[in-house]
Structure 1
């Protein structure tokens, strides 16, 4: 190792440790141990331009082991991103630009939010999928305008997680040759030695999942071996690569290095001083030696500028030779939809009977014909979720231009990869499974919300109407649980027209994920074709009383039609009620008081009906017909009757209420 390389690596180590010591909080072990691989990757290989951090063909990097955020912030500072020394000094402080774990959109140069272990590598898989698909779609002849790598640094904890295993399996199956993962293998976890809880042979495991593997025995000092491994990985074009790099956690800390004591706590004053001595570091805190800064300027910064300039020349040639594809690419990069929804979306007759999952399938396919950027799939349930895009091809190793992703039974991995696809840009992605299995992917929905990525979750078989499959497959608490996540639009449309509107709302949103909750059973069409403005507001009166109402029935999804049936029976008995369709609690809560009071009228009683938990309904209604137990196995109609979801029960509940 050259002297300037050692000095650069020690600068990374000490900048990271300085942040943690000042904050009295953080994880110095990975920052000190993984500094050589981070230095080698950034200064010798990765193509990024801090002056244009959104350059579309840049390499992507995710620190999946997000607890090592101080390491990432040090790298971003040294690479010329807008992360200042003052920002480093504010590490983990309120309102700083350097939060405890990396947050995309918050810190310049951060590509993904990470920290919940395993999700980072899964998002990297999604980014690599997006690159592979867009390359197949746009590259022509020698003009490879989409041609970049996706890199990730992972730790032992990442690779213990189930979501990482799902994502690794998927990446190997798809042959994502431009995905390169650096594994910081240090044999230590938070509680102690790794051997006490984990003995997998990672190399053998990922090799069995169709990955190329390389092992570097000395990741503490041998940057040449690390660099050679990355070069070898780039040549494995038909498989993703995992490079296991053996490191010493907390390298340079003379007493705590190599132990779990350096994993998740500051070094402390004495160990800090001894580490400076051991690393021959004779500088004040937060110092970057001039020659180190020049090393990065001449390395990653110069290379990035040159690569982008070359790419711009390539794009100019592409624009001249393929103007239509160029225009399509620019629209994709800018996130333009260019869909005339009124012309594109299917229309239905009033009282036509169709399930909202089937309606969603028709909507998706209509959109896919008008908009070229829809890209997603299902966790082995495409023909149950009705999410297969006809005549759009399958995204496979041998046909990456296809738009239908066969995710397999990997719900969490699927959804995290979906987040990665969205973070990459140039596409609008969707994922799908049964609603009850949203429990398997809920952390990814939460991540979508934190990252402000408008991934679309298509979740079908939404209630006890599933019937025969019984309680394990009948959602109860899921609606309440997902509604509780900030920045998530949980939309349960009442019919086919509201389903159209739900898709339009979801696609037009720029920073909120949407969860579309859809029926298996047929329900009547009651909403007007152009109801999108009503759905955007979260709730509206779908069926007004013919005289002044004495009560209101407030419902979501399939229960809206039930409410309208009860409304007619009540009117026959001289009792007049409104029926309110409330597809999205969150969107309704965002409206002003005037609108909310025009929908949920003051001074009259309100009954909420929903085949799910009653949790969350009390702020809107006076009484509920809901389900606060698990469901039952049997014919769907019989199960619904068992729980009181029939016209007679609703009529009686209204009578009792008034």
Structure 2
């Protein structure tokens, strides 16, 4: 379809251009309705964050995405095989609110658009870059579940509505490199430069993502045919995609659509999403792994885990370090809970590689990006996310870990190489104050076992911790393992006395 060219008087059009199809005309009219919503109560909120221009520039492509591509059912916005639409910045929430209003039969104006309260909100707003890393984790979780259960049950995408400042952060660049390395081709980021952004800086950000293995496309944010071509290319891409939405030419302003076209059962997003969910439910009913899939989505443990866990792990509970025993427990857990997904970071001067059986995903020295991805995997659901890294690197993981704790998502961390002995890396690799700072973080469980029996008890407590992430701080040196009765093992996971 040839792109439509507009004249200087395009803002006074009274009907959609005749060269556009009926579906494209509806997208244009809904985009006009979304802009009208942005000019309403959300205008003041957007102006306070200096994002009014960005919201308007992204309005047409986001409307096209919701009307023509996104798998979203307003009646059940949190069904497992929906597309994830990640809005990690408070400044971009007015555009999400407009999309929900246009696609929902009876828009809910009473529930705040906050994480944990509104079912359509995938992530809590946080520091720049955290949303891109979490979205990469969601895309990785989708790949893992699709490999286990097949595309008949897991066949969705992750879309991120980002700001240009997100692209500059270290966590976003680390996560981008990991996403490119893992081939997460179902991940797409939509971004436009802010009015005061230097075009050279924005081009440099795009170049970094391209060098990380991403497909980077520049698209005219005011040209609907060009937008539809870019979205179609994103669906066919074999790499993660970054769509840079640039302004070129005047924006068409077709008339407002009729109310029944904006919302209700006639919304194209609602019709397509409801149909996709019904088809998915029929496939789930007939799927041979339905029981296991539903258990994993609910985050429940297998029925016989409490009996199988000590039986398979008993031979590793004697005469070894807490680090050795904890990694042995990780290997045991992989056999009992196939939904366990392990990301491992190799750090330190020795560059030691942990003895972790496949499948696991090595993240090199990119601990910050790894921690952000673990948070996204927990947000996605269906997997039990676990990260293995050196204790001293917790300072790099802290921002992502804090977001995970604030959202109360379950992630397991095995932090190795703890201890006061001076290693070959020097005093800079000794974790001195990190333990106290971790214990001050809300909703975070910190366990520091001293021997094999305590490691076993702390592993069990970490798996049962319901409030958020759990850390096991592990020592590589052999420790004396006193003989203790089986009944006293539970005491190992109890908190110690408060500091004086």
- Report the TM-score when normalising by structure 1: 0.66
Q: Partner residue of 2:21?
A: none
Say yes or no: does 1:228 pair with 2:226. Answer: no
- The answer to whether the 8 Å contact 1:360/1:499 transfers is yes
Q: Partner residue of 1:144?
A: 152
Q: Partner residue of 2:209?
A: 206
Say yes or no: does 1:347 pair with 2:314. Answer: yes
Once the 2 structures are TM-superposed, how far is the Cα of residue 468 of structure 1 from its aligned partner?
3.1
Q: Partner residue of 2:327?
A: 361
Who wins on radius of gyration, i.e. which is larger? 1
How do 1:577-656 residues align onto structure 2 when only pairs under 5 Å count? Answer: 582=496, 619-621=498-500
Once the 2 structures are TM-superposed, how far is the Cα of residue 308 of structure 1 from its aligned partner?
0.9
3-state SS in 1 of match to 2:75:
helix
Q: Partner residue of 1:28?
A: 52
3-state SS in 1 of match to 2:231:
helix
CA pair 405-208 structure 1, distance change in 2 beyond 3 A: same
Say yes or no: does 1:437 pair with 2:393. Answer: yes
Between the aligned partners of 2:412 and 2:486, the Cα distance in structure 1 is: 22
Query: What are structure 2's unaligned runs of at least 5 residues?
Result: 5-15, 17-24
Once the 2 structures are TM-superposed, how far is the Cα of residue 17 of structure 1 from its aligned partner?
4.1
Between the aligned partners of 1:349 and 1:425, the Cα distance in structure 2 is: 31
Between the aligned partners of 2:472 and 2:406, the Cα distance in structure 1 is: 19
Q: Partner residue of 1:126?
A: 137
| Of 74-83 and 473-482, the range deviating more from structure 2 | 74-83
CA pair 57-474 structure 1, distance change in 2 beyond 3 A: same
3-state SS in 2 of match to 1:329:
helix
**Residue 8 of structure 1 is aligned with which of 14, 17, 30?**
30
How do 1:496-511 residues align onto structure 2 when only pairs under 5 Å count? Answer: 496-511=452-467
Q: Partner residue of 1:313?
A: 282
**Residue 457 of structure 1 is aligned with which of 408, 413, 421?**
413
Between the aligned partners of 2:316 and 2:361, the Cα distance in structure 1 is: 33
Between the aligned partners of 2:399 and 2:105, the Cα distance in structure 1 is: 30
Between the aligned partners of 2:174 and 2:44, the Cα distance in structure 1 is: 38
How do 1:403-482 residues align onto structure 2 when only pairs under 5 Å count? Answer: 403-482=359-438
3-state SS in 2 of match to 1:465:
coil
- The answer to whether the 8 Å contact 2:103/2:267 transfers is no
CA pair 341-290 structure 1, distance change in 2 beyond 3 A: same
Between the aligned partners of 1:509 and 1:63, the Cα distance in structure 2 is: 28
Q: Which has the higher contact order (CA 8 A, sep 6+)?
A: 2
3-state SS in 2 of match to 1:85:
coil
- The answer to whether the 8 Å contact 2:378/2:384 transfers is yes
Deviations 1:462-488 (A, max 9, x none): 232253322211011111211221111
Between the aligned partners of 1:215 and 1:428, the Cα distance in structure 2 is: 36
- The answer to whether the 8 Å contact 2:180/2:212 transfers is yes
Deviations 1:75-108 (A, max 9, x none): 2232228862355xxxxxxxxx13xxxx432222
Once the 2 structures are TM-superposed, how far is the Cα of residue 360 of structure 1 from its aligned partner?
0.4
Deviations 1:558-606 (A, max 9, x none): xxxxxxxxxxxxxxxxxxxxxxxx2xxxxxxxxxxxxxxxxx5xxxxxx
Once the 2 structures are TM-superposed, how far is the Cα of residue 291 of structure 1 from its aligned partner?
4.4
Q: Partner residue of 1:164?
A: 172
CA pair 165-247 structure 1, distance change in 2 beyond 3 A: same
**Residue 302 of structure 1 is aligned with which of 258, 266, 271?**
271
Give aligned pairs, total: 471
> How much is the aligned-residue C-alpha RMSD, in angstroms?
3.0
Q: Partner residue of 2:298?
A: 334
Between the aligned partners of 2:231 and 2:485, the Cα distance in structure 1 is: 57
Between the aligned partners of 1:244 and 1:359, the Cα distance in structure 2 is: 48
Once the 2 structures are TM-superposed, how far is the Cα of residue 489 of structure 1 from its aligned partner?
0.9
